[in-house]
Structure 1
Amino acid sequence: MTVLTAELRSQREKISTATLATALYKRGLRQQVIQGVTPLKRLTKSMVGEAFTLRYIPAREDRNGLEVFRNPDHPQRKAVEICPPGAVLVMDSRNDPRAASAGGILVTRLMKRGVAGVVTDGGFRDADDIAQIDMPAFHTRPSAPTNLTLHEALDINVPVGCGEAAVFPGDVVVGDNDGVIVIPAHLVEEVTAEATEMTAFEDFVMEEVREGNTIIGLYPATRDETREKFAVWRARNGR
């Protein structure tokens, strides 16, 4: 059963990964950011979706010839065809971008199927083409060689490690221009609620700072005056 309702998805699209990282840190979770990945193009809104995973292992020459792609059940091809609309395909490419995790054709297929985004701790081939696709895609760097040279796609929708972060199927994945963060499924509602509050306060603080006000007593709000001004700001802005 999905944990990401339409309302939660809409709320998360307005929350930065930085704010989510702080909310998770308050709960003792320090390693939720997928390290080293960046979007192929600047995003105008956050990528949000439940994790659907693909795991690669080191390739072995007797199992990893080009002919394996003729098999309709090849895990890479199958993952592209069954990743649910609205999900984020997260690929564990062993933190190794020397061979591509996927290319422009497969990523385009994901986009046409309504997938919310794709993340790999490896690289993409056809990076310029993928950058033109209307779907967020995150990787470490471009990589021309086929994945078959170094990676074998093995498991679909199992727990994986991606960029030093543990990702379980159904976790909520959020990506923006700062990177990608993974929210454990059981914390989705409470983290979203707190991060929404934090975002409102941070927007208020930014306005105050742009007007030339000091951060002392403002950020964090250690003065009654700050809390009172924030309450007035919220009422005025409907936040």
Structure 2
Amino acid sequence: MSDYVLSDETRNKLMKVSTASVATALYKRGLRNQFIQGVQPVSWKGKNMVGQAFTLRYIPAREDRNPITVFRNADHPQRVAVDTCPAGWVLVMDSRKDPRAASAGSILVTRLAVRGCAGVVSDGGFRDAEGIGKLDMPAYHQRPSAPTNLTLHEALDINVPISCGDAPVFPGDVLLGDGDGVMVIPAHLADEIAEECAGMESFETFVLEQVNSGASIIGLYPATIDQVQADYAEWRKREGR
């Protein structure tokens, strides 16, 4: 697991920025594949999900290893992951991009919420999605799924590097989810990305105001005209940003 600890300051900054801004900031650093493809909010809460990654890896289920009785095992990795994901962290599941069987259901996700986890992400599906959508805790998946995970998936490894929606996720990386989806921020970049994106969001608010007032985007976005920079500086001063 990464030694990085997400500070309240960085968490608060990321709560106010978009996955789009983070994607651009990571792209500037040569990272193109940090967006978890194919996932969406079960029910958008109107606020970001921010937390470090605690991971669970599924492999294809082999029938003789995955009868329904395996859930009686106290050390079943799916159950252990749900009961050990730290408060303030996000449980991220590699479900092989296969939503035909559920990664988890409302009882397990409710357990995460009660334990104070920051969210849950799967590149597969959730069963009881309607109930999960009523929780305050953010949850992201491909689509609802009724069959138990045992029909297709075997939970195997806890807190190891995984792929989720084709994005690499290392334990301790920072997950940012908004209404569009989920970005994975490498832990060692999280503080500087949060700081940079806070500025990007401020500038884009300024740009939208200009565009809504009839301004052309040429020279404005990106800002290639000196007057734009001067106007933005004055706007920041006026808005207290």
TM-score range, shorter chain: over 0.9
Query: 1:87 aligns to what?
Result: 89
Query: 2:40 aligns to what?
Result: 38
Counterpart-to-counterpart distance in 1, 2:130 and 2:4: 33
Q: Deviations over 1:95-123 (max 9, x none)?
A: 10110000000000000000000000000
1:99-114 mapped onto 2 (5 Å cutoff): 99-114=101-116
Deviation at 1:214, TM superposition (A): 1.0
Query: 1:141 aligns to what?
Result: 143
1:85 partner amino acid: A
Query: 1:23 aligns to what?
Result: 25
Give me the identity figure in percent: 67
Size of the aligned set, in residue pairs, is: 239
Counterpart-to-counterpart distance in 1, 2:12 and 2:240: 17
| Candidates 152, 175, 189, aligned match of 1:187 | 189
5+ residue gaps, structure 1, are none
Q: Is the 8 A contact 1:76 1:153 kept in 2?
A: yes
5+ residue gaps, structure 2, are none
1:32 partner amino acid: Q
Query: 1:215 aligns to what?
Result: 217
Deviation at 1:87, TM superposition (A): 0.4
Counterpart-to-counterpart distance in 2, 1:167 and 1:91: 10
1:141-160 mapped onto 2 (5 Å cutoff): 141-160=143-162
CA RMSD of aligned residues (A): 0.7
Q: Deviations over 1:46-96 (max 9, x none)?
A: 100000000000101111011111111100000000000000100000110
After TM superposition, the score normalised by the length of structure 1 is 0.99
Q: Is the 8 A contact 1:57 1:153 kept in 2?
A: yes
Give SS of 2:63's match.
coil
Query: 1:52 aligns to what?
Result: 54
Give SS of 1:230's match.
helix
Counterpart-to-counterpart distance in 2, 1:49 and 1:146: 27
Q: Is the 8 A contact 1:3 1:188 kept in 2?
A: no
After TM superposition, the score normalised by the length of structure 2 is 0.98
Counterpart-to-counterpart distance in 1, 2:5 and 2:230: 35
Deviation at 1:11, TM superposition (A): 0.4
